[in-house]
A and B are shown apart, each in its own frame.
Chain A
Amino acid sequence: MKKIIKYVIVDLLRNKIVLFYTLLSLIISFSIFNLESNTSKGLLSLLNIVLIIVPLVCMIFSTIYIYNSAEFIELLVSQPLRRRTIWISLFIGLSVSLSLAFLIGIGLPIIIYQPNSTGFMMLLMGFLLSIIFVSIAMLASASTRDKAKGIGFAILLWLYFSLIFDAIVLFILFQFQDYPLEKPMIIFSFLNPIDLSRIQILLKMDIAALMGYTGAVFKDFFGTTTGIVVTTIVLSLWILIPVWISAKKFGKRDL
């Protein structure tokens, strides 16, 4: 297992796209912090990158990488190795290299310009989001053999998490606006890792006051240590469940 992980990581670190991604995010983050007059505003601009670009890159890149290494996977399967080991090693290799790219590309500027609890929260959330979307990408690529279909599915999933889910929430909010929806909203936020991380980061930015009663409910829940622990657990589930399902699928799949 270690050997496969090592091989995947080395392969990915030499990959031009990962290097490009790291470099680009490094340049963007530094320029955002330098352009904005105050650094907390810079953090806000960076929020969109962490919540939209990072999942997109992780998702698309991982899917393509897995399809491109189909021959390598076939070769490994012919060896006396368990399929699950191969799949998990692939996942670990991908998540290590992509989260490393995130930590260097966006984490480094955050540590330099905003070494406080908000910055740290963004770092943690971005890190977890990287891994979550690698995991979801694994699910997308395990579900079909057709490369075009798989990539399409991955894009659709990304669209779902960053746009469609929120639209559905908005729709539900309007349909049930006569009811107190603050607590159901907490449950809803668990259903989307992007929403969950956004709320967690925004609460650290003391934006809760803007949110009135909803903000108070959110702060009471997410602002506490239990809330942060629950968030981390839920995000870990977002990592584990897709990988587990995809590993099962890969185990049964006819290659």
Chain B
Amino acid sequence: MMQKIFSIIFLSMFFLFCRNTEGKTISVGKNKSVQSIQKALAIAKNGDTVLVYAGLYKEGNIFIKKSIVLKGINFPVLDGENKYEIISISANDVTVDGFKVQHAGRSEIKDLAGIMIYDSYNVTIINNILDDTNFGIYSQHSRKCTIKNNSITAYGKNEVQSGNGINCWRSDSLLIIGNTIKGHRDGIYFEFVTNSLIWRNISTENVRYGLHFMFSQDNNYITNLFKDNGSGVAVMYSHGVKMFNNFFEDNWGDAAYGILLKDISDSYIEGNHFLRNTVGIHMEGSSRIVLQRNEFINNGWAIKIQASCDNNVITKNNFLGNTFDIGTNGSLVLNTFNGNYWDKYEGYDLDKNKIGDVPYHPVSLYSMIIDNNPSALMLFRSFIVSLIDKSEKIIPTVTPENLKDDYPLMLPLSL
């Protein structure tokens, strides 16, 4: 009996003791006992919290190898002096919160990032401001990491010399939420990343793409804004992509796209808004994609669909004020375009079921001509072009006869 009580007391004391060590907090600051982050990291143990008070810290590369919480108070500045990678993490359960990370180094051999995550699990990067970091946040071989509410700015001038905002490689189950990314090569770049959620990010004014991914299966992109990027968004060689309610705006220029889909299959693109892009969606070698309830407004081409695409369903979309609704390069059509609203539709609805009685042919002859012969754009908006387009609309001869909407809507959908 006595022994039992003793052991219970001993055990509870042991747990108490353990708790105490786990909750230890180390403060770093000018007037604190520890004055450098490096020193704090050296004395910290797994589970500790390192609080960093405001100030300028030029400590080279800060390498976190223990499961700690590194928390900044009033945004302490970590400066890489254009030489170092600033924060590197290679431990599980690390949190980096509330820092201003600036002037990361740049190297031709190694990708130096503002915050780098190596082979880790459950790392959280939250509420940081990254300024003039070559690569912003870089995750490689990591799982279940959260990158949230960071503001990442770079001043990339060209594609070769600048890095990506959020760069993920061979990672899984990432949560990338509410980040603001600006001025990089690619805003968000994924390669071999799976099962991740990209939600409420704003990616603007990047040199190349707002979002760029390859070989990244089963990811969800929800309510992001991609605006004013050099070439819009490019996604390639992936399946199981779900893009809902994103905004693709003002990607205007030669070879700029709202989205470039190359070899994408079994995916859903729904409820997105494509505004003022040279090409809203450019599809190449893509199959089994459901494109519905999207809005295409004031684009050059709403959708350019190459003849290499098959079994795509394009339905319940609004096409408003686009110069060309659909562009294509061949006569083979393996996709369906039924039940959309086209503002250029000139048919009638006798039975008043709000569905037009005659099919709509969204490909104009002139857009076919341009596809074969780009110089013909000299005649853009000329009298002869509208004349031949009108005659082609009545009797399709050159344009693919099967590319048509059999049930065009009379009124735009409210999206």
Which residues of chain A have a CB within 8 Å of any CB of chain B?
41, 44, 47-48, 51-52, 162-163, 166-167, 169-170, 173-174, 177, 181-182, 185, 188-189, 194-195, 198-199, 202, 206-216, 218
Contacts and interface: CB of A to CB of B under 8 A. Distances in A.
A218 B375 CA distance: 10
A170 B254 contact: no
B412 to A, nearest CB: 13
Contact of B378 (A44, A174, A189, A213): A189
B300 A209 contact: yes
Contacts of A195: 378-379, 382
A167 B378 contact: no
Contacts, number: 80
Given A47-B381, A215-B254, 17 more contacts: A48-B381, A51-B382, A162-B383, A163-B383, A166-B382, A166-B383, A170-B369, A170-B376, A170-B379, A170-B384, A177-B372, A188-B378, A195-B379, A202-B380, A209-B278, A213-B254, A214-B378
A166 B374 contact: no
Contacts of A189: 378
A120 B12 CA distance: 85
B253 interface: yes
B256 interface: yes
Contact of B380 (A163, A210, A216): A210
A214 B377 CA distance: 7
A214 B321 contact: no
B252 interface: yes
A125 B301 CA distance: 28
B379 A166 contact: yes
B374 A214 contact: yes
A193 to B, nearest CB: 13
Contacts of A214: 374-375, 377-378
B254 A185 contact: no
Contacts of B379: 166, 169-170, 195
A209 B253 contact: yes
B251 to A, nearest CB: 10
A212 B378 CA distance: 11
Interface of B: 252-256, 278, 300-301, 321, 323, 369, 372-385, 387
Contact of A210 (B300, B378, B384): B300
B365 to A, nearest CB: 11
Contacts of B301: 210
15 contacts: A44-B381, A47-B381, A48-B381, A51-B383, A170-B369, A173-B376, A185-B375, A189-B378, A195-B378, A195-B382, A198-B380, A207-B323, A209-B252, A210-B380, A212-B377
A181 B375 contact: yes
B380 A209 contact: no
A254 B200 CA distance: 81
A184 B254 CA distance: 21
